[in-house]
Chains A and B, each alone.
Chain A
Amino acid sequence: MYSTNYHRPSSVEEAVALFGKGSDPKYLAGGHTLLPVMKQRLAGPSDVIDIAKIPGLIGVEASADALTIKAATTYYDIMHNADVKRTIPAIAHLTSVLGDPAVRYRGTIGGSVATNDPAADYPAAVLALNATVKTNKREIPADQFFKGLFMTALEDNEIITAISFPIPAKAGYAKMRNPASRFALTGVFVAKHKSGEIRVAATGASQNGVMRVGVIEEALKANWSASALDNVKVSDEGLMADIHGTSDYRANLIRVMAQRAVDAAG
């Protein structure tokens, strides 16, 4: 690792000010993406601004219509939160199968969503649940937030402060893990909204990161059941192919994981 200046601000405003002063600054939350590349000397930021301990960024709030998880809340706190478990248990489940205990103690929802790793779990939940990404500057709808591999609508020096999830009628998540990294080889989040809208999002599958799966949404709209997907053909066009899975295998996994997510959603 190259030497760097480490900062731990106590407010978002202070973090933003520090970021403005650095020559090549980076925000740090759980650190699961940034620290490994720093250790390998693939990144050498001048300043590392640790926003994971800002009190205003930690916590969960639930209303009748929405579950709001503040950005620096750790996976561990999310999966054990009573409001999360009560309102959207699929998020608690997703979190419980994310990484391993060490990862879950450190990782944050804001860090995951801001990084937009193509195999991360939370982006699938954000997209399928049609969540709103709240930042220190604005509110961004899910459909406008994810812009491709590791790309988001976030501007330079924009910090996610919270994610607000509308509480659905039903939701479920299922994933197949990459045997080596244990990231999602393919994960699918299905949601039946109170409006009746069906949204299905897959992670780990597309070359462009998290994506909605139209053919599955249509089939589930006609019939919300796993068997409704038995003969659905998911195209492998644009899907990733690597040593862990071909694109046709991932296309199959989208369908199979969607079926299991529907079963889990009930």
Chain B
Amino acid sequence: MGIEGIGASVVRKEDRRFITGKGRYVDDIKIIGMTYAHFVRSPHAHAKIKSIDVEAAKAMPGVVDVLTGQQIVDDKVGNLICGWAIHSKDGSAMKMGAWPAMAPETVRFVGQAVAVVIAESKNLARDAAEAVVVDYEELPAAADIKAAIAPGAPQLHPEAPGNIVYDWEIGDQKAVDEAFGKAANVVSFELTNNRLVPNAMEPRAAIADYDSAEEHFTLYTTSQNPHVARLVLSAFYNIAPEHKLRVVAPDVGGGFGSKIFIYPEEMVALWASKKVGRAVKWTGDRSEAFLTDAHGRDHVSKAELAFDKDNKMLALRVTTHANFGAYMSLFSSSVPTYLYATLLSGQYNIPAIYTEVIGVYTNTTPVDAYRGAGRPEACYLLERLVETAARQLKVDPAELRRKNFITQFPHQTPVIMAYDIGDFNASLDAALKAADYAGFPARKAKAKAEGKLRGLGFSCYIEACGIAPSKAVGSLGAGVGLWESAEVRVNPVGTIEILTGSHSHGQGHETTFAQLVADRLGIPINQVSIVHGDTDKVQFGMGTYGSRSAAVGMSAIFKAMEKVEAKAKKIAAHQLEASEGDIVIENGEFKVTGTDKSIALPMVALAAYTAHNLPDGMEPGLKESAFYDPTNFTFPAGSYICELEVDPGTGKTSFVSFVAVDDFGRLINPMIVEGQVHGGLVQGIGQALLENAIYDDTGQLVTASFMDYAMPRADDVPSFKVSHTETLCPGNPLGVKGCGEAGAIGASAAVINAITDAIGNNKLEMPATPDRVWHAIHAA
């Protein structure tokens, strides 16, 4: 309804402050008497701490205190937790070593904090940190999966023999073995999903402010989910009870998953603030971000796909080793299991699937959810496998996919997920058309005549978003419920505040959530403000990740709006002396249908708050809240087609076109959706061509700056052709599915499939750097 309602490409309300430099990030906040923290970090991947001498540092100018890991243990601050319990095949619980916020005895990755200096300025803290003398006894390190699982490998945690956190399985192994036994063709390969550094534009930061009179803490932090942060800090880390801890996540400059987790730095800031009796600020720099933000991906997998004689898929068998780094981060255990293996059916009718996932400790930065979280790994594996199959079976890759698409919904896969709706043929058809697939052979021939190798690659992805039905995730081991809350406050003058547990850190909620209200009431979005990111303002919420804010967060707003509208209609009917059932809401007015009688929203609101003339027994005020727990995941899906050219002289890839056809259900703001798709595609292309976190054998991060870690730039990516098909999600009132992660999930397989098509060699790992592609051309 209205020009600013659902479906309108309204300009983002929040951009005015962002593009004029008026955003308010954690580092912009100053508190009187504030001190500054600088961490002393391990230069070794694995070492015993023999001693820490802080005396010289304590005597440096401007130093307030120097605190060590042993002190945080002595003060009984809790260890960091992993909030999703996974059990191995044999039924045993996952095997985890303790992760104290600062290491008291042993360091297990480069960058792990061992001490913190609190000083009057950032520079003084840094000066003093250099004077902290840590005596390390270096231990051998296991820097990657292969090294960690080798016989005789250095052991990280005594609790996890062989560095194995869990050995998990899903699916029917017997059925899969039988299917492979009768297969006409089997396609198999091994592949690596490269490790990534999230690199949000704003590094992590925290300010902790302890009020000794009230015994109350305030934490300003770069969080995607401040309520979850408060819950964990309170329930597990012994910082303060929830009513004595306020967590504020103000403007946050990008998260991509990396700001879901509770990190040691905010725990230390809270603890230190109480210890020194002053506010403590820590702002990470880019080097700290590289070394300590949870990394993403890092799988090594073996996959086999069985076909019958008609090229119908019979079964899929996958073994994946997942690198968790040195400690289990907050949601890490769920990423290569329930967010990965459950998506291995893709868009295909695969009768039997069996997957084993072995979680491995290594002497590297912890690994956790990063845009897509498990689903990009699943899509990359499956879509490369299907493309490889098409080449091996000598059939058209589009036709092989089409032959195996799921076409009946709902569809129960062999790996938990029950797809509710979709139309995979529709998105593939639209993509083929947009990419002019029919004209590709002629374009390839023309390129060949010009000395270029041209290739085309597909990726038909599906993901599970709207995370997630609380009962379902609870049964799978999640430590929390994944509903969302909302409160709608109609002010006495009729303006509206929406309080939401979702958190906006780039997604545009201040606009899209207001569009929902505008749509229902027919008022302009500038009469609606969105309040989020403060545990003192919003009662509770589960935050933003997993493309859940529209499907879950907005559904909660929808429910609360229904309650507000019902009450407002009663008031309007009373005021207009009409029947409640005859009241309709149009253009900000409550009208008696079929008459010219109406009352404007501000007058209804005013009546609610003056309470001079309300229906008998009605409470004053106009404010309602709701909790929404989804009934199923949502299943965004789409088809991507990448066409590119490889320069045989240099191995350099140049895009010709990139087509993305997505089915996100109903679009709230198509412009914002397009932006989300662009961002996701760039991250997927970044993984495919550029980004790679590389450790050397001793566990040093070789790519610890932008000099060596290649972030995608504007000229690395093409101008995208983005369009949509639509099947409305039946599981939520808005019919939305979520759009934040799709690009990052689907893009990389399309790119690598296109390059391997161009060069005629399928042995190619991400990132497909010019060096690697050139070598692959010459190995072909």
Contacts of A181 in B (CB 8 A): 706-708
B694 touches A243 (CB 8 A): yes
19 inter-chain pairs at a CB distance below 8 angstroms, sorted by A residue, are A41-B130, A176-B650, A176-B770, A179-B716, A179-B769, A179-B770, A180-B690, A180-B708, A180-B709, A180-B710, A181-B707, A181-B708, A243-B702, A244-B708, A245-B769, A245-B770, A249-B771, A249-B774, A252-B649
CB of B40, distance to nearest CB on chain A (Å): 14
Contacts of B130 in A (CB 8 A): 41
A179 touches B710 (CB 8 A): yes
CB of B589, distance to nearest CB on chain A (Å): 53
In angstroms, Cα B706 to Cα A181, docked, is 7
Q: How many A residues, CB 8 Å from partner?
A: 17
Which residue from chain A places its CB closest to the CB of B647 in the assembled complex?
A256
B598 within 8 A of A: no
B403 within 8 A of A: no
In angstroms, Cα B351 to Cα A17, docked, is 82
A223 within 8 A of B: no
B702 touches A176 (CB 8 A): no
A176 touches B652 (CB 8 A): yes
Contacts of B775 in A (CB 8 A): 246, 249
Contacts of B689 in A (CB 8 A): 179
In angstroms, Cα B96 to Cα A81, docked, is 64
Q: Summarize B's interface: helix, strand, loop or mixed.
A: loop
Contact flags A234-259 to B (C-beta < 8 A → 1, else 0): 00000000011110010011001001
Contacts of A176 in B (CB 8 A): 650, 652, 770
In angstroms, Cα B772 to Cα A249, docked, is 9
Contact flags B126-155 to A (C-beta < 8 A → 1, else 0): 100010000000000000000000000000
Ordered nearest first, which 10 A-B pairs have the shortest CB separation? A180-B710, A256-B649, A179-B710, A245-B771, A181-B707, A249-B771, A180-B708, A176-B650, A179-B690, A243-B694
In angstroms, Cα B775 to Cα A246, docked, is 9
Given the interface contacts A244-B769, A244-B771, does A180 sit within 8 Å of B707 by beta carbon? yes
In angstroms, Cα B770 to Cα A260, docked, is 17
Contacts of B692 in A (CB 8 A): 243
Contacts of B769 in A (CB 8 A): 179, 244-245
CB of A147, distance to nearest CB on chain B (Å): 24
Contacts of B703 in A (CB 8 A): 180, 243
Contact flags B756-780 to A (C-beta < 8 A → 1, else 0): 0000000000000111001100000
CB of B653, distance to nearest CB on chain A (Å): 10
Which residue from chain B places its CB closest to the CB of A252 in the assembled complex?
B774
> Which A1-37 residues have a C-beta within 8 angstroms of B?
1
In angstroms, Cα B776 to Cα A249, docked, is 11
In angstroms, Cα B689 to Cα A181, docked, is 15
Select A41's contact among B126, B709, B710, beta carbons within 8 Å.
B126
Which residue from chain B places its CB closest to the CB of A176 in the assembled complex?
B650
In angstroms, Cα B649 to Cα A259, docked, is 10
In angstroms, Cα B694 to Cα A253, docked, is 24
Contacts of A245 in B (CB 8 A): 769-771
Select B708's contact among A1, A185, A243, A253, beta carbons within 8 Å.
A243
Contacts of A256 in B (CB 8 A): 649-650
In angstroms, Cα B127 to Cα A1, docked, is 10
Contacts of A243 in B (CB 8 A): 692, 694, 702-703, 708
A253 touches B690 (CB 8 A): no
Which residue from chain A places its CB closest to the CB of B694 in the assembled complex?
A243
In angstroms, Cα B777 to Cα A249, docked, is 12
> Which A159-178 residues have a C-beta within 8 angstroms of B?
176
In angstroms, Cα B646 to Cα A206, docked, is 26
CB of B183, distance to nearest CB on chain A (Å): 39
> Which B686-712 residues have a C-beta within 8 angstroms of A?
689-690, 692, 694, 702-703, 706-711
CB of B345, distance to nearest CB on chain A (Å): 35
CB of A242, distance to nearest CB on chain B (Å): 8
